[in-house]
Amino acid sequence: MLEFRQVHKTYATPQGPLRVLEDVTLRLAAGQSLALMGESGSGKSTLLHLAAGLDLPDHGSITLAGHNLATLPEPARATLRREQLGLVFQQFHLIPSLNVIDNLRLQARLARRDDVAWTAHLIERLGLAGLEKRYPEQLSGGQQQRLAIGRALAPRPPLLLADEPTGNLDETTAGEVLELLLNLVRETQCALLVVTHSPQVAAPLDRCLRLRHGQLVSSAL
Amino acid sequence: MIKALPTVLATLLAHYRRHPGQLAMLLLGLWVASALWSGIQAINATARDSYARADALFDTRLDQLERRDGAPLTRADYHALRQAGLPVSPMLEGEVVTQDGTKLTLIGIDPLTLSSDNPLAQADTSASLTHFLTPPWQTRVAPDTLAALGIKRENAPGATPRLANGKTLPPLILTPALPPNTLLMDIAAAAQLLANSEAPASGEQITRIVTAAGALSEPPVGLTLTRASSPASPGQLTESFHLNLTALGLLALVVGLFIVQAALGLALEQRLGMLRTLRVLGVSGRSLIVALSIELLLLGLIGALAGIASGVWLARRLLPDVAATLGSLYGAGVGQELNLPWHYWAGGLAVSFAGLLLAGGGVLWRAAHLNLLELGQMQAWRNGYHRQLTFMGIGGALVLSIAFALYSWLHVQPPGDGLVAGFGLIAALLLASALWLPPFLAMVIKGLTHLARRRPLIHWALADMQLQLPRLSLAMMALLVALATNLGVSSMVGGFRLTFLDWLDQRLVAPLYLNAPSTQYDDIDAWLAERPEVSERLLTRRSESTLLAINSPSNSPSNNASNSPSESRSTTLLVELYGITPGASLTPHWPLLATIKDRPSAWAAFDEGAVFVNEQLATAEGLSPGDRLTLSAPNGNITVLLAALYPDYGNPSGQVLMASHQLAARFQAPANSMGVVVHDNANVDALRDALTTRFGLSSDALSNQGEIKRIATEIFERTFTITRALNVLTLAVAALALLATLLAQARSRRQQLAPLWALGVPRAQLAWLNLAQLGGAALLTGLLAIPLGIVITWGLVAIINVAAFGWRLPLYVFPWEIALTLATAVSVALLAAAIPALRFWRASPRALLSEEAHQ
């Protein structure tokens, strides 16, 4: 589903080049789940951005659903994101001007995979029934993250990328949201890559890798 | 991705559902910009259509014959010419008054004697010539004259409207090619309509005898021949007036587009998160730009259509004043009914869309070029703004260098050339100043922030102002441009008013002015000479001539060839001749701009046969005192010395002034009017009554000085009605820009203020701080507008006026206008800031807590 081969990434900064990822190689098969742990600044988010085709590696190749992202033009990478990926962020990134139901269906509509029955099922599973006409600002943090997960899963993507999906939530809510996320991933049988520094988030996943100073060092758990 | 476009578009547009203020601001900007621009274009299009019809009718290759002795033409003159075998045709012109008081020009023609290719004879419809020539005759009229006759278009054919004097017009027949406010009929029907108790219809009346252009090589004995090409067409004369209007319209368009760009920038900035999310969800950058462009086009279409509709409404309201201005300034008839060709509508849409593209293009470009990973971060946008400030500074310097190049070019051009370059210079100065304003404000605020670092709240207010600047800068630029233009135009009009009133006082020295039939002046002059209360009779005469040659001596400023003893140029310019009596009451006050040696020498030379010319003629032909002018005269060409130049405001033609007795002797010019100067304490009313009774003068033959000044001042005020209206509207648009910008960002402002409130700063204090921030920025903008406004005044009086009208005005700076500019700037900002500040002040603590939670 997703494969990194000897990926390098460096950013230019006023203080000189900053090496963020160095010789990273990993593979995630369809239906598998993987946690990527590491300290702040270890390169986790960069790796996620590269996996989503939001950024390009300096060296190495990243293959998503059989396509080498490094050689694809931007419109083709956008198409891949639209059709193959679901993304969940720590900051939710909901559209403030769309209500709950429109936010939920947004990516499915973009991917031309809007399924009314599946959306209704998601609404129930996410615990957002009765809140369809509300706007994101009228929801609690947990509700917003659940909505973001629902939006990512609405088109039933083969791969879900999540960046600290519970990082903005309290412990109880985080547990609920994580359980919901994993249940829905199982239900849709999509692959899952989660970037986190929470062992509780990483524990239930199939595998766990740790990044240190841009290099994959070991399995964390 | 095309299939997903509706979803992307709907998502983008959903932003406006939550932020209707921004949508309103965008549409408002487009609407006002397009409304003012299309309103002016509607006026211009209607006026040009009227000119085209007038040109077609009057600039009709007809030479005109008049009696050399100034006496009215009679049918006997016409018969004599026909009997001599000359192909002449009679015309009768007069004025009739409709029941609503509108004055219409009535032209009576004899189509049988007019040459068949003449538009007057051709201004025909399907009606047969017989109907036109025989009772009950026909009245040809343009559709836009029907309103004055109180008749609807569908009822017009065959209608016989009644005039104010009770007479009825012959049956109407519509002739769209005729100019507005003109009635055309057979000369016999016209004679009956124009007859009154003083001049019954005798069939003897003729006002003009015309002949096909070039049909006569020289005038018959006792008559003067005026060639067809001599009258400048109204279209040419009024070109500068319309260019002025267009420039003001363009300014309003630019100011309106500032609003659009501010609104677009704000809408995009607030949607950065949305854009990033859409990109992350798989919408390509190109698709996003396409969707944003479609959004722009949709908004543009709504704004442009609303603007054009309002523009037409505005034009209908302003057209009567414009028509009156053009009539009084240039004698050009303009219809009061809008007549808009198809290209007006297409042009209005095209200009609105082009403006929108210009305003939105930059925003789209920035959105397309922002790094995807930075897209959602405000800081990225802010960094972009800092780069933009640098570009603005560089851009301002480049535009200023263009202004300098234009000034250098204008400097070496003859005075009177470069109207478009003059407007270009003013536009470049405005643009350069507008571009420099945001970097300047940023620099000042940064400096003040540094100074206020020990006063935390002021420090915060200044730092906060720096953060607001990206959103406010466009509205401030619009305010600067509007304020400077307002000051510039107000000072120009104020200065013109002062100069004009002085000039009237200097030229109108007699308390009583007489306008009698030319044959009566000798008798009246002799009678007045015997009256003890009369100290001077200032007889004037009028005629016209052709300026054939100009000879500039080597020491004349108009001789550019330094090593040439003298320079001679040929020309064929038709000029007015005006004769005045250089009496003791007139010459000390008569304004002169330049003289040979000094004023007494100039007047002495004038009395001996030298001439003065008006500023317009001097500017157009590059004349200076000391030049010698050769003029065509009935008894052969004459060469005269040019002794002085004088201002002649409001006259579109070149004029040569000479002593009245010289004009009579050289050009056989008939008397035209007479100023009667009386001794102090003389009874002017008694003299007026005595004159009227003794010579049987009509009630309007005598006017007192006050009446003439009042009428002249009224015409002056009306001339600038539209300028003032557009000026105020432009300032109002700038005020709206500021208000709309502040309202559109009120919500995010509350989010920035809420934490301070949470930290213990009272809401009222925060609201006042908000007002002080805006008021201070506006005050700085207003201060900058002052020197810019003065430079614009200079450009208007020294370049635009000279090029457009041929006269230069002194530069006046009015402290009152400057104070008003500053007060306007601060008031506009405070008014615009008051609503958001009040909202914040009145916001409930719960709402503020909610804002704070969203930080």
**pLDDT tens per residue across span B409-448:** 887 777 667 778 888 888 899 999 999 999 999 999 889 8
Contact criterion met (CB below 8 Å) for B173 and B151: no
The gap between the terminal CA atoms of chain A, to the nearest Å, is 23
Mean pLDDT of A48-67: 89
pLDDT at B642: 93
Find residues 9-28 of chain B whose CB sits inside 8 Å of chain A: 11, 14-19
Chain B hits for A75, Cβ within 8 Å: 1, 284-287
Q: Is A111–B282 a contact, with Cβ atoms under 8 angstroms apart?
A: yes
Handedness of CA B406, B407, B412, B414 (dihedral sign): positive
Residue of B729 and B185 predicted with greater confidence: B185
* C-alpha to C-alpha distance for B400 and B583, rounded to whole angstroms: 51
Neighbours of B743 (CB within 10 A): 19
| Residue that wins the pLDDT comparison between B563 and A93 | A93
Q: Is the pLDDT of residue A4 over 90?
A: yes
CB pairs under 8 A between A and B: 84
Task: Please compute the mean of the pLDDT values over residues B665-676 and round it to a whole number.
Answer: 85
Window from A22-36, B345-359, B747-761 with minimum mean pLDDT: B747-761
Which of A45-49, A81-85, B462-466, B794-798 has the weakest average pLDDT? B462-466
Q: What angle do CA B390, B394, B399 make, to 5 degrees?
A: 145
Residue B852: what pLDDT?
44
- pLDDT digits 0-9 by tens, B33-60: 788 888 888 887 777 777 776 666 655 5
**Would you call A64 an interface residue with chain B, using a CB distance cutoff of 8 Å?**
no
- Which of B155-164, B174-183, B545-554, B555-564 is least confident? B555-564
pLDDT in tens, B102-121: 778 888 888 778 766 665 66
3-state secondary structure of B454: coil
pLDDT at B558: 57
What's the whole-number mean pLDDT along residues B458-466?
81
Shortest distance, CA A100 to any CA of chain B (angstroms): 13
Q: Is B385 exposed, middle or buried (0-12, 13-18, 19+ CB in 10 A)?
A: buried
Closest residue in A to B372 (Cα) is A54
Rg of the Cα atoms in chain B: 33
b/e B685-714 (16+ beta carbons within 10 angstroms → b): eebbeebeeeeebeeebbebbeeeeeebee
Phi, psi of B643 (to 5 degrees): -100, -20
Please, which pLDDT band fits residue B747 given cuts at 50, 70 and 90?
low
Interface touch A93/B273, C-beta < 8 Å: yes
- Better pLDDT: B854 or B318: B318
Residue A165: per-residue pLDDT: 86
d(CA B250, CA B411): 25
Residue of A nearest to B6 (CA): A110
Least confident of B86-95, B376-385, B660-669, B821-830: B376-385
Are B57 and B123 a contacting pair, CB within 8 Å?
Answer: yes
Which of B281, B371, B372 would you mutate first to test chain A, the one with the most A CBs within 10 A? B281
Percent of chain A topping pLDDT 70: 98
- Nearest residue, CB atoms, A95 vs list B274, B279, B285: B274
CA distance A7 to A216: 11
Q: How many angstroms separate the Cα of B59 from the Cα of each of B56, B184, B229, B532?
A: 6, 16, 7, 49
Contact B600, B567 (CB under 8 A): no
**Residue with the two structure tokens 């009028």:** B542
Confidence of residue A219 (pLDDT cuts 50, 70, 90): low
- Spatial distance between the Cα atoms of A82 and A76, rounded to a whole number of angstroms: 10
**Burial class, B378, CB count within 10 angstroms (exposed 0-12 / middle 13-18 / buried 19+):** middle
B chain contacts of residue A102, beta-carbon cutoff 8 Å: 11, 14
What ipTM was reported for this prediction?
Answer: 0.70
* Whether B276 and A80 lie within 8 Å, measured CB to CB: no
User: Where does the pLDDT of residue B812 fall: very low under 50, low under 70, confident under 90, or very high at 90 and above?
Assistant: confident
- B233: tokens are 């067409």
Q: Side chain identity at A150, as an amino acid letter?
A: G
Q: What is the pLDDT of residue B60?
A: 52
Identify which of A81, A94, A102 has the shortest CB distance to residue B282: A81
**Which of A57-71, B344-358, B548-562 holds the top average pLDDT?**
A57-71
Give the model confidence (pLDDT) of B337-386 as tens digits: 676 777 777 877 887 788 788 777 877 776 676 665 554 454 455 566 77
Tell me if A93 and B280 make a contact (CB, 8 A cut-off). yes
**Chain A (147-176) residues lying within 8 Å, Cβ to Cβ, of chain B:** none
pLDDT value, residue B232: 47
User: Residue B669's Cα: distance from chain center in Å?
Assistant: 35
Residues A81, B15: C-beta atoms closer than 8 Å: no
